[in-house]
Chains A and B, each alone.
Chain A
Amino acid sequence: MAAIAVLESTTEPGPGSRRNPRRQDGFVRELRRNVSAYGFLVGALLCFGLFSWYPMVREFIMSFQKQKLGRTRWVGMHNFNQIWNDPSFGQAWRNTLYFTLLALLLGYLVPFLVAIVLNEFRHASAYLRIVVYLPVMLPPVASLVLFQYFYNPEYGLFDHILHAVGLPTLQWLQSPNTSMIAVVIASTWMNMGSATLIYLAALQGIPGELYEAAEIDGAGILRRVWHVTIPQTRMILSMLLMLQIVATMQVFVEPFVLTNGGQGVDNSTTTIVYLVYQYAFNFSNYGAASALGLLLLLVLVVFAVIYRWISRRAEQ
């Protein structure tokens, strides 16, 4: 930056009438460059300021405030006490963690296995890729309305299939035992395409000689996966794990649409973000909503930081 400025001021001498013309010319140039740069930045700066930075500060401040009848008061830790004593609090964390666990089991491992298999195919691979990614492109409400239809215990497709193969039918969304599993299945169907394609790209970067060498050493398919594929994709595996934890812990749309408002039977699909939504938009309790949001933020920032750390190391 400074080097360019120096270069400019030495190659193009300014008008000789002023005292110390070179320095002044350099200063004017610098100023003009900065003014024009900030001119280019102003739109993004305003949008970030209004819709990103200011809300971040506000989220923090509001968690220590209470709004009543248009007046705002500082209430210290009151909001945190309130959400802590809400019976839904523990339930919502348990549900969210349960969803995250199931979603990782399905949505993290299955795409990896699928990608390993797809990577071996020499035929129809374009078709398979398109098909697995297609649900990612659909509007979520369309997919969820469809799954809700399939889950119906009276006329739904899923119970019909279970019945046809001789398995006991399920209540799906209408039972507290299966509702979260139903949410996870729908969510995985909607989202697994992205992870699959990212893994596929990573698998294509593995040098073939490594498999060759492992095979010469007598390693079978499973040992080659364990000793070549997994170590070679370690970075991407761990980065995606962090991204998926952050994404799945913010689950909202799936339970919200599937269970008509997000609670499910006996609060079985109430998640943290749903609770935030409920505080803010059903009870207008912005203080409690912000406090709960802040707690979730603190948890998720840990994973985001680990992700940044891994991705920095991956780039080096």
Chain B
Amino acid sequence: MAVATDTSTRTLISRVQLNRPRGRFVYWTVLVLTLLLFTLVFIGPLYMMVTGGLKSTAEAIQSPPTLFPHKITPGTYSTAWTQLNLAKLLMNTLVYAFGALFFQLVFDISAAYAFSKLRPVLGNAVLGAMLATLMIPAMVLIVPQYLTVIDLPVLHVNLLNTPWAIWLPSVANAFNIFLLKRFFDSIPQELLDAASIDGAGSIRILWSLVLPMSRPIISVVSIFALVAVWKDFLWPLLAEPSPTRQTLNAGIYSLSQGVPQNVLIAASAISAVPTILFFLFFQRNIMAGLTAGSLKG
């Protein structure tokens, strides 16, 4: 067995023990049981979601529930698509997510660059004030944030029902700045000084030196920026109340009381598809980013 020769890392249970007949039996039994259990617990509900969207209204609420749809009704998905105006909701969510990504990248990268490399007077104090916001639970600030967005101080503009109400608050993300600054700190100053002597200005250095070197961290920040907007519920519900401006989450929730069960399940399945594809495509980056970033700050 190939596994037996690989002794580079050992964990709780030693290879020797696992390779004994009894160890091997227990290992495979536990592995198969875990595979079955995990598939049942985590994929099972998704299976019920996809097939639930294929059932007719009567079948969706019949008891006992059916494991396979008796009569496959793909029409449920198209009903959900039109009845909940999912094209609009999907488009809104995409616009909010990519807009938030854009503003976060522009403003947070340049801020982290200033903190890390330009080091202005009071820079550390400002950075500290930004990082301090990580201590404030997000839900507590929802009410004053809402009141700020409906009447912006000084300008007296109402951002409600505009994408700005999602884009701009997303920039105030101290965690992004922390991750980016920590990465920029690891870029040697001599490299920047050399470019500076060659006559490159700050913007030029950021664009053609720092950014290309920072691809790994920028991809982590970008992925989490997109996922955050896609998963957010309460803020978009408050900030984009108009039905034509809602996100998938808020829109499906708002209409959940008025549509049949199978249509609602179909709509949920449609809203889940982009995130599942996104995850399967970027799973390596997502898992690496999760463990790299989650415990700091």
What residues of chain A have their CB less than 8 Å away from a CB belonging to chain B? 1, 33-34, 36-38, 40-41, 43-45, 47-48, 50-56, 58-59, 62, 116-124, 127-135, 137-143, 145-147, 149-150, 152, 154-157, 160, 163, 189, 194, 197-198, 200-201, 203-204, 206, 208, 211-212, 215, 221, 224-225, 228-229, 236, 239-240, 246, 249-250, 252-253, 256-257, 260, 273, 276-277, 280-281, 286, 289-290, 293-294, 296-297, 300-301, 304-305, 308, 311, 314
Contact = CB atoms under 8 A, between A and B. Distances in A.
A76 to B, nearest CB: 19
Contact of B168 (A51, A59, A155, A236): A51
B138 to A, nearest CB: 7
Contacts of A194: 290, 294
Contacts of B256: 141, 145, 257, 260
Interface of B: 3, 9-14, 27, 30-31, 34-35, 38-39, 41-43, 45-46, 48-49, 52, 60-65, 103, 106-108, 110-111, 113-115, 118-121, 123, 126, 129-130, 133-149, 152-153, 168-169, 171-172, 174, 177, 202, 206, 227, 230-231, 233-234, 238, 248-250, 252-253, 256-257, 261, 264-265, 268-269, 271-272, 275-276, 278-280, 283, 286-287, 290-291, 294-297
A253 B233 contact: yes
Contacts of B118: 33, 36-37, 40
A296 B295 contact: no
B109 to A, nearest CB: 9
Contacts of B238: 281
Given A1-B119, A52-B133, A150-B48, A141 B142 contact: no
Contact of B137 (A135, A297, A314): A297
A58 B42 contact: no
Contact of B14 (A48, A152, A215): A215
B70 to A, nearest CB: 14
B25 to A, nearest CB: 14
A204 B121 CA distance: 42
A246 B137 contact: yes
Given A55-B145, A189-B45, A134 B269 contact: no
A311 B181 CA distance: 18
A293 B89 CA distance: 31
Contacts of B129: 48, 53
12 contacts: A36-B202, A40-B110, A51-B171, A51-B172, A54-B148, A55-B148, A147-B45, A239-B295, A253-B233, A256-B233, A300-B137, A311-B296
Contacts of B202: 36, 40
Contact of B111 (A43, A56, A128, A308): A43
A257 B252 CA distance: 10
Given A40-B202, A211-B10, A124 B248 contact: no
Considering the complex of A and B, which 3 residue pairs feature the smallest CB-CB distances, nearest first? A37-B120, A43-B107, A44-B111
B65 A160 contact: yes
Contacts of B152: 50
A66 to B, nearest CB: 14
B295 A197 contact: no
Contacts of B141: 52, 55-56, 59, 293
Nearest to A280: B143
B253 A141 contact: yes
A140 B114 contact: no
Contacts of B123: 37
Contact of A59 (B140, B253, B295, B297): B140
Contact of B279 (A44, A137, A198): A137
Contacts of A45: 111, 126
A154 B107 contact: no
B169 A47 contact: yes
Contacts of B174: 48
Contacts of B46: 134
Given A116-B12, A131-B43, A257-B256, 16 more contacts: A40-B118, A41-B120, A45-B111, A50-B153, A51-B148, A52-B172, A54-B153, A117-B30, A137-B275, A189-B41, A221-B13, A229-B12, A276-B139, A276-B143, A293-B139, A305-B135
